[in-house]
A and B are shown apart, each in its own frame.
Chain A
Amino acid sequence: MIIEMNHISKTFGTLEVLKDISFGVDSGEVVSVIGPSGSGKSTLLRCATFLEKISGGEILYMGERAAHTDESGKVNYVRFQELTRFRSYCGLVFQQFNLFPHYSVLKNLVDAPIHVQHRSKDEAEETAMELLRKMGIEDKANAYPYQLSGGQQQRVAIARALTMKPAILFFDEPTSALDPELTGEVLKVIRQLAEEKMTMVVVTHEMPFAKAVSNRVIFMAKGVIVEQGSPAAVFDDPKEERTKQFLRVFER
């Protein structure tokens, strides 16, 4: 298992966003997370990538505990130094890209490898250019984010996450901020990564994509995992009424 999240709960004030969620992802697996908005999908990713602290449960990466809840119910995270190491296992692609506007595309990709991971400039740039080629935007290396289309920006963001060489990559609705005609180019890149056995968790509203690319589909609603299984099982033969109801909306 790359990541294991056990009995995760997350509350904001009195609002329970995640309720006793457990799930794990194996190496090479592609997991799609679907569900209505407000179901806690994004919060789950943000907890997995340490942007949010869990309110209960435990998080393990590579079988090592990054956070756990003790007998008194207090959540303990590992020390900052160690957390940095756990952070390096995971990458996150945001809905809004969040590229650094004052850096060129190439600098967006090499800055963290050089200044966070202390890799050599030459090696970082070589890795970055290779990724840009893979994303089909090597000619944009010296452009600035504002000069790119949304689809290109998101591909840069994916490349930026990959330059850190994460063991698992999370996507938080990667195409939701894009025009319909631009979603295709981003989905194509994710599909390509799936074929290369990159471990990924994708929160998405693109049902045909989820069906075609993932090994497993998780349906979430109101902070719990309602149903999960192979794409065929969840999409074509859902067991739960809530799942059927949700999927019906997309059939129209």
Chain B
Amino acid sequence: MDFSTMLSTMASGMLKTFGIFALTLIGSLPLGMLVALLRKSRFAPVRALIGAYIAVIRGTPLMLQLLVWYFGPFYLLGWSIRGWRFPALILGFIVNYAAYFAEIYRGGIESIPVGQYEAAEVLGYRKGQAFIRIILPQVIKRIMPSVTNEVITLVKDTSLAFTLAYQEVFSLAKQISASQTSFTPFIIAGVFYFIANYAVAFAMQRIEKALNYYK
């Protein structure tokens, strides 16, 4: 197999890697906010539930979580898992990353001075209005560095999809390397991840700069 065939075979894997990455962000960024808000809920059972969820997610490997999402329905409920591979994968990633994003959001929300809430309250903003208009924009600016970190980790974590034999870049690299007894696929994969993260860092830097109009 020559280099260009290898590259074009792996290109389909790159697309799939990007698919995991994009879907995970689309799902976990908003879900994380919901989790962060529920963690500060007035109802103690809700707070406890969210606390347990975050503890379990952070306390166990993502690889294990993916296996549970994929095989759980079969072993625990006896369901057929045909066609369940991709949904299980995305669910596993979203639920995992939402927990981490939730903690980042919580830190950001708690760092906003109480005076901002009070000023909004005295001016008559409703709670939700104050959160959306006054608090959230400031939170986003403050958490950008941590979010960048997390997004870069996600690019690399997509490789864990190999545990479910999903044909993204990393799985393909392993397979092609084994069948062709070649080291090249690993180099292609490495360069791919590196460029992808370079692009992520660049994009995040642009966003951070755009938010730098105030201190």
A160 to B215 alpha-carbon distance, docked (Å): 20
Interface digits, A112-150 against B, CB 8 Å rule (1 contact, 0 not)?
100111000000000000000000000000001110000
Chain B residues whose CB sits within 8 angstroms of the CB of A92 once the complex forms = 122
Tell whether, in the assembled complex, residue A116 and residue B123 are in contact, meaning their CB atoms are under 8 Å apart. yes
**Interface residue from B118, B124, B129 paired with A88 (Cβ < 8 Å):** B124
Tell whether, in the assembled complex, residue B124 and residue A102 are in contact, meaning their CB atoms are under 8 Å apart. no
A-B contacts at CB below 8 angstroms, number: 57
Residue of A at shortest CB range from B137? A102
A50 to B118 alpha-carbon distance, docked (Å): 10
- Stretch binding the partner chain, chosen from A9-17, A57-65, A93-101, A193-201: A93-101
A111 at the interface (CB under 8 A from B): yes
Tell whether, in the assembled complex, residue A146 and residue B116 are in contact, meaning their CB atoms are under 8 Å apart. no
Chain A residues whose CB sits within 8 angstroms of the CB of B85 once the complex forms = none
A100 to B123 alpha-carbon distance, docked (Å): 12
A188 to B121 alpha-carbon distance, docked (Å): 27
Tell whether, in the assembled complex, residue A160 and residue B123 are in contact, meaning their CB atoms are under 8 Å apart. yes
Q: Interface residues of B, CB < 8 Å — how many? A: 19
| B124-144 contacts to A (CB < 8 Å) | 124-125, 129, 133-134, 137-138, 141
A217 at the interface (CB under 8 A from B): no
Chain B residues whose CB sits within 8 angstroms of the CB of A117 once the complex forms = 124
A87 at the interface (CB under 8 A from B): yes
B61 at the interface (CB under 8 A from A): no
Tell whether, in the assembled complex, residue A98 and residue B214 are in contact, meaning their CB atoms are under 8 Å apart. no
A56 at the interface (CB under 8 A from B): no
A49 to B118 alpha-carbon distance, docked (Å): 10
A54 to B133 alpha-carbon distance, docked (Å): 28
Residue of A at shortest CB range from B211? A102
Tell whether, in the assembled complex, residue A145 and residue B214 are in contact, meaning their CB atoms are under 8 Å apart. yes
**Interface residue from A91, A94, A111, A146 paired with B118 (Cβ < 8 Å):** A94
User: Taking A100-B134, A144-B213 as contacts, is the C-beta distance between A115 and B116 under 8 angstroms?
Assistant: no
Tell whether, in the assembled complex, residue B138 and residue A102 are in contact, meaning their CB atoms are under 8 Å apart. yes
| A40-57 contacts to B (CB < 8 Å) | 49-51
A161 to B119 alpha-carbon distance, docked (Å): 9
| B65-91 contacts to A (CB < 8 Å) | none
Tell whether, in the assembled complex, residue A164 and residue B123 are in contact, meaning their CB atoms are under 8 Å apart. yes
A51 to B114 alpha-carbon distance, docked (Å): 11
Q: What's the least CB distance linking B131 to chain A, in Å?
A: 13
**Interface residue from A51, A88, A91, A101 paired with B121 (Cβ < 8 Å):** A51
A192 at the interface (CB under 8 A from B): no
User: Taking A94-B115, A96-B115 as contacts, is the C-beta distance between A87 and B122 under 8 angstroms?
Assistant: yes
**Interface residue from B123, B137, B214 paired with A144 (Cβ < 8 Å):** B214
A91 to B118 alpha-carbon distance, docked (Å): 12
A50 to B115 alpha-carbon distance, docked (Å): 14
Tell whether, in the assembled complex, residue A91 and residue B122 are in contact, meaning their CB atoms are under 8 Å apart. yes
Tell whether, in the assembled complex, residue A101 and residue B215 are in contact, meaning their CB atoms are under 8 Å apart. yes
A-B contact pairs, 21 of them (CB 8 A): A50-B122, A51-B118, A51-B121, A84-B124, A87-B122, A87-B124, A88-B124, A91-B122, A92-B122, A94-B115, A99-B119, A100-B119, A101-B215, A102-B214, A115-B125, A115-B133, A116-B125, A144-B215, A145-B214, A160-B123, A161-B122
Measured CB to CB, the residues of A under 8 A from B are 49-51, 84, 87-88, 90-92, 94, 96, 98-102, 111-112, 115-117, 144-146, 160-161, 164
